[in-house]
Amino acid sequence: MTDNSANRVVVLICTPLEAEFVERIASFDPDRVEVRYRADLVPTPHFVADHHGEPGWKRTPEGEAEWRAMAADAEILWDVPEGNDVPVLEQCPNVRWIQTTSAGVGPMIREKGLADTDIIVTTSSGIHATPLAEFVFAALLYNIKIIPQLLAWQQQKSWERYCAGELRGQTLTLVGPGRIGSEVARLAKALGMRVVAVGATPPGQRQPNPDFDVYVDYSGIDEALGQGDCVVLACPLTAQTDGLVGRRQIDAMKPGVALVNIARGAVIDEEAMIEALQTGHIGFAALDVFQVEPLPETSPLWSMPNVLVNPHSASTAWAENERITDIFVANLAHYLKGQYDQMSPILDKQRGY
Amino acid sequence: MTDNSANRVVVLICTPLEAEFVERIASFDPDRVEVRYRADLVPTPHFVADHHGEPGWKRTPEGEAEWRAMAADAEILWDVPEGNDVPVLEQCPNVRWIQTTSAGVGPMIREKGLADTDIIVTTSSGIHATPLAEFVFAALLYNIKIIPQLLAWQQQKSWERYCAGELRGQTLTLVGPGRIGSEVARLAKALGMRVVAVGATPPGQRQPNPDFDVYVDYSGIDEALGQGDCVVLACPLTAQTDGLVGRRQIDAMKPGVALVNIARGAVIDEEAMIEALQTGHIGFAALDVFQVEPLPETSPLWSMPNVLVNPHSASTAWAENERITDIFVANLAHYLKGQYDQMSPILDKQRGY
């Protein structure tokens, strides 16, 4: 028997994970990897693939002591620990790699004091592309097929024949042409839409995407927004996209535009957006993200008839933890061989995505 | 100047049509074609591309006399005349070609006593494929993304994070693999679904469609229905499809199945469907068509929380009359040259579609 203890790495699972996926990770290379998971020391999930549980959740003092003992020599973290005001690096001074369960983690990693370290951060960027793109078209079709009107007629038992619009032939302006945005564009093309994409990278420097009829960088955003019958915000939150869609950009949009925000609330001027929804300049908005979350009870967005509020859950899907486990296990194989540059998708901690 | 009066054909526009399309037809070959249209002698449309107007609409007696005079020598009809209890062949004894504005006209043509004549009937089959397929996915995404639940939470200003399902990976059973069904299948594949198609033609006798993962004829419908997470009815109403989805076929469906009916109400046993919706065996139904239309106020379907009632309008689209005019003008060119076999799509009056 070989003593591998010197080589052994400790994986600490920091947020809720189903037993079958914990097992899968634990059985990957039991000689070299020790997996630690205590369901009673992480938040209680409220739904499939919930990683956060009750806001403000904390461990008991005894639980906290056990947690700190488990965390002390952890080298790999599945997600960033919840329920602890102690800095991550103080809880886990030996951490070298963090696998997050979300994609847009740039701001959080900075906030946790991890942006200027050598710790590898792999995200789950990509796995949310399918559920988010499906949500985008659920929302756009809900609007174009006047389902709110159908529901009102149905409640009145009123048989009203009508004529609805079609997404086919419309222009979709996509802000943020990453993994999620590319899936939105692919479905838009399948539906016969024209896609105008806007991103951070100058046109000459990015690989062409055949699903983009037009691509411009953020310097051309006003004109691009003006072309969209539908506008989808799907960019990461960075210094450049914070407030990217301000009052002037909203004014530049087509009257009656349908807006979907699956990016972050701070990407758009929420006050200006609310005003435009009140006048009807923005005809419809489906919002998964907000300036402040949970959305305060006092927000007018809750009761606007042309707004669909989604409580920041459009990215979740039943199959989510299975897909993150796929990413994690593939990355673990590279990590154990020291092939750090093969790990993917790696967060550029300075760029923020 | 040549006297073409001997060759001249009269086109009578029998249902509402925008002036620009009447003009387009009239200007196609003014020497040979005389177009007659009187907006005051056809129903008043209630919405874009409405061809029927108020149910029970009638011309005044004076209007009726004028209409009969216009109709007497008409050879070509745009649509079947409305608002007249006089048989079509008595109104228009010289009719040789009818262009309908709907696709599923087989039963109506029989009812009007035209099935056993030599009159050419071209339909607008195909033009409704886009709006209907968009409606199918509006409905399926509305259900899988739990939008009814989101609306309820929004009304309560309740921020509830949740996990929804995905269409990707689900199986869609498609009953009726015609033009509309093929467009449904194409979009289903783009969304990553598996498509099981069921149609009238035996498997060996039809051209393969790469969007169908499985194709069976109606003898295999029970098994095919059992595979579908989603079931879409998109077949024509014929002797074979009348009552095709009975109690046994509903029982064969997956518990919780999402059903969309864009075919005709008589294709499914409505009473058995209502019972299955009440028990939840059918989890959700979006219905564009019903046994009796308009849907009677007494129907329980109006107030079922898992039903979306669409007042037989899913096929309409703003661009509808433009597309029918395209078909009509192309057919007119063939007709004038006597190339009747080039006209399309021609109704097989015996088969009924």
Q: Does one domain contain both A150 and A92?
A: no
DSSP class of residue A234? -
Report yes or no: B273 and A115 within 8 Å, Cβ to Cβ.
Answer: no
Per the domain annotation, does A353 fall within a domain? no
Which chain B residues are Cβ-neighbours of A309 within 8 angstroms?
150, 153-154
A313 touching B, CB under 8 A?
yes
Q: 3-state DSSP call for residue B28?
A: coil
Do A299 and A207 belong to one domain?
yes
Total domains, chain B: 2
Whichever domain contains B31, its CATH number is 3.40.50.720
In a shared domain, residues A155 and A276: yes
Q: Residue window 210-249, chain B: list those with CB within 8 Å of chain A.
A: none
Q: What is the DSSP annotation of B153-182?
A: HHHTT------B--STT-EEEEE--SHHHH
Nearest to A293 by CA among A277, A270, A321, A276: A270
On whether both A289 and A146 belong to a single domain, the answer is yes
Q: Which of A57, A144, A154 to mutate to test the interface with B (most CBs of B within 10 A)?
A: A154
**Per-residue confidence band for B16, with pLDDT thresholds at 50, 70 and 90:** very high
- Residues A281 and A172 grouped into a single domain: yes
* Predicted complex ipTM: 0.85
pLDDT of A283 above 60: yes
User: Cβ B293–A52 below 8 Å, yes or no?
Assistant: no
Q: Decide if A308 and B150 are in contact by the 8 Å CB cutoff.
A: yes
Quick one: average pLDDT of B107-116?
A: 94
Query: What is the band of A104 on the pLDDT scale with cuts at 50, 70, 90?
Result: confident
- Whether residue B28 sits in one domain with residue B116: yes
* A349 part of a folded domain: no
Angle (CA) B103 A145 A260, round 5°: 145
Does residue B126 have a pLDDT over 90? Answer: no
Which pLDDT score is estimated for B2? 47
Q: How confident is the model at residue B5 (pLDDT cuts 50, 70, 90)?
A: low
Q: Domain for residue B231, yes or no?
A: yes
How many angstroms separate the CA of residue B189 from the nearest CA in chain A?
A: 10
Bridge partners of A316, per DSSP, are: none
B240 and B284 in a common domain: yes
Q: Is the pTM of this model over 0.90?
A: no
Position A83 pLDDT exceeds 90: no
Q: What's the gap in Å between the CA of A252 and the closest CA on chain B?
A: 25
Q: Is the pLDDT of residue A244 over 90?
A: yes
Local confidence band at A89 (pLDDT 50, 70, 90 cut-offs): very high
Taking Cα atoms as reference points, which of B169, B346, B319, B315 lies closest to residue B234? B315
A121 & A200 share domain = no
Cα A243 to Cα A52: distance, rounded to the nearest angstrom: 27
A206 classed as catalytic: no
Task: Write down the catalytic residue from B51, B264, B270, B320.
Answer: B264
Helix (H, G, I), strand (E, B) or coil at B197: strand
Residue with tokens 């020291």: A338
| Statement to judge: residues B31 and B179 lie in one domain | no
Band of the pLDDT at B169, cuts 50, 70, 90? very high
The answer to whether B221 touches B198, Cβ cutoff 8 Å, is yes
Q: Note whether B271 and B135 are same-domain residues.
A: yes
The Cα B224–Cα A28 span in angstroms is 39
Q: Mean pLDDT, to the nearest integer, of A283-287?
A: 98
Residues A287 and A264 reside in one and the same domain: yes
Q: Is residue B165 part of a domain?
A: yes
Q: State how far the Cα of A315 lies from the Cα of A317, in Å rounded to an integer.
A: 7
Checking if the pLDDT of A315 tops 50, the result is yes
Residue B61, domain extent: 9-126+317-342
Cα atoms found within 13 Å of the Cα of residue A78, Cβ hemisphere only? 28
Same domain flag for A92 and A184: no
